[in-house]
Structure 1
Amino acid sequence: MARTGAPEAPQATGAVGYAFAPHATHSAEHHRWVAETWDPVTLPRLAATGVTRGWRCLDVGTGSGGLARWLAERVGPTGEVIATDLREPTAPPTEGVRYLTHDIANDPLPEGKFDLIVARLVLQHLPSRQAVLTRLAGALRPGGWLQIDEFDTSYEPPLLTPDAAAERLYRKFLAAKSTALRAAGGHPGWGREVAAAMRNAGLVAIDPRPLVELRDAASASLRLQEHHTRHLRSRLLAAGMTDEELAAVRELMRDPSFLACSSVLYSVQGRRPTTHPTTEGSA
């Protein structure tokens, strides 16, 4: 496995303002809870594309590399999996996976190369998300698949809390997190716009699948929320939370009686057309 810069592009200088700044402990925990919560959604959707031996795949924003490893097992030695991220990946060396340092918002992509591209919880953080999506669509081979999994966090209400004050606290945390993500250039509700963005990029056979789940004290989804109180601490403080409130909301999320609805995850697939549309008056 090579850990080299992309031959088509210089190494990235970093994502200015990206909310989830890299951190030795926080980033690993973030990737752990994302994978535990959402792999059961992402992986079956990828499998439904028919990904198999010989396919060329791209995993954008690979993080800990779990999706790339899963893909490598399916494409085998005759296929290729490229896993990109802004910084040197934390993923262990994996047979069949080539890790590249690459800034998807600024560095070029090869045209018409990939049978399958997946980007999970990446594009909503990029101000240029529509332009990036269009470039990803262009990097597909005719008939190739793009899968984008993104949140819409405008709907994630508390369902049961110990009292009204606890409900207000949790809602304040959710509002502060949304403010923090927007301040960093993100769009926390972009998940519901992905299908239209794919259509605008020229993709066809667009298939959005929304999913929500129950958050309780034992769920990985709620552990991810608790983790955000630490990973996003400085941004949450800037958005109006206090350290005392963050400690209190962590305690609330560990309460066995606490129940909340998750945000909506949209897993959206689209395909690059196999032929160019016929123009009026053409033969």
Structure 2
Amino acid sequence: MTRIDGHLLDPRQYPGPRQLSDHRQLSDSRQPGARSCSDAFAALFDPTTFGHVERLGIGPGWRCWEVGAGGTSVISWLAKRVGPTGRVLATDIDTSWQTRAARSPLEVRVHDIAADPPPVGGFDLVHARLVLADVPDRERALASMIRALRPGGRLLIEEPDPALQPLACPDEHGPAQEAANRLRHGMRTLLTERGTDLAYGRRLPRLLRDAGLRQVAADVYFPLSSTAGAALETATLQQLRPELIAAGLATPEDIDHHLANVATGTLDLATAPLISAWGRKA
């Protein structure tokens, strides 16, 4: 048996840290800029996520599984809501974002949602944000999360849909905005080549219904012009810069010029619409 964060784990099910299961995964927190991206995602999307979870009825004693946690903002909030009688399990293929040992009711495990069996326990809530569109076997991952729910448990999946609104600057009124949109097109091309499903978000309601969930609903959050959006644009470009240049999708000058424009605070930068879909296990 192996001890991680004070918890004994079966090495056959949780064999410890490993490399990404697929080179297309974008959630490796060891990549340059990953921490900045995680912080920007939290600033942009935590209020939306928390609002949905609140409406799903979270309370003391709930058992929650956060899939592909990638950071601490969501799991810390969940731990406060479930209290000492509840449980929050955070899993990820790379848990290097964890800076200190987890304390009850929070537990952190290494887990690959695309390959490993789901943890046992019968969860009241299973949540994943910005995870499935980058997972090679999305169908298996979704089925695994549903299997982990107790009868009546809630599933909340949140994914961006860059194909729904592909522009960095919807108000393309000048050269800086045109350059931003060209770079965003290059980023979308790169992500597509890496296997990201840029239209996955819009299919979530149908996929949840097809999987047998009840009371399925969804909505969309579309940030436009925010400090966090500008921070995310900068961090994402820093993270993808080597690959954009290597693929011939942008030059170093293109990227540097755009980042300088972002730093002025005068670009109304849009993020991809975040589609949140939820349902209840029969």
TM-score (norm 1): 0.88
Deviates more, 1:168-177 or 1:51-60: 168-177
Which residue in 2 is equivalent to 1:2?
A: 6
Which residue in 2 is equivalent to 1:78?
A: 85
Number of residue pairs matched by the alignment? 270
Query: Is 2:143 the counterpart of 1:139?
Result: no
Counting aligned pairs with the same residue, the percent is 29
How far off is 1:4 after superposition? 5.8
Which residue in 2 is equivalent to 1:281?
A: none
Which residue in 2 is equivalent to 1:276?
A: none
Deviation string 1:200-240 (CA, Å, 9 cap, x unpaired) is 22111111011112125xx2022101111111112222151
Q: 1:235 to 1:3 in 2, by over 3 A?
A: farther
How is 1:25-174 mapped onto 2 (pairs within 5 angstroms)? 26-91=33-98, 92-95=100-103, 96-110=105-119, 113-154=122-163, 155-157=165-167, 158-160=169-171, 163=174, 165-174=175-184
CA distance in 2, matches of 1:4, 1:87: 18
- The answer to whether the Cα contact below 8 Å between 1:112 and 1:142 also exists between their aligned partners in 2 is no
Structure 1 unaligned regions, length at least 5: 274-283
Which residue in 2 is equivalent to 1:197?
A: 207
- The answer to whether the Cα contact below 8 Å between 1:5 and 1:102 also exists between their aligned partners in 2 is no
CA distance in 1, matches of 2:7, 2:191: 30
Query: Is 2:254 the counterpart of 1:245?
Result: yes
CA distance in 2, matches of 1:112, 1:204: 21
How is 1:178-193 mapped onto 2 (pairs within 5 angstroms)? 178-193=188-203
Structure 1 counterpart of 2:22, from 16, 24, 43: 16
Which residue in 1 is equivalent to 2:264?
A: 255
SS at the partner of 1:192?
Answer: helix
How far off is 1:151 after superposition? 0.3
SS at the partner of 2:160?
Answer: strand
CA distance in 2, matches of 1:267, 1:7: 34
User: In structure 1, what residue type is equivalent to 2:266?
Assistant: S
How far off is 1:254 after superposition? 2.4
CA distance in 2, matches of 1:189, 1:70: 29
User: In structure 2, what residue type is equivalent to 1:125?
Assistant: D
| C-alpha RMSD over aligned residues | 2.1
How far off is 1:89 after superposition? 3.7
Which residue in 2 is equivalent to 1:227?
A: 235
Structure 2 counterpart of 1:214, from 213, 216, 224: 224
User: In structure 1, what residue type is equivalent to 2:205?
Assistant: A
Q: 1:225 to 1:4 in 2, by over 3 A?
A: farther
CA distance in 1, matches of 2:258, 2:112: 34
SS at the partner of 2:56?
Answer: coil
CA distance in 2, matches of 1:204, 1:83: 25
User: In structure 2, what residue type is equivalent to 1:121?
Assistant: L
Structure 2 unaligned regions, length at least 5: none
CA distance in 2, matches of 1:56, 1:49: 13
How far off is 1:199 after superposition? 1.4
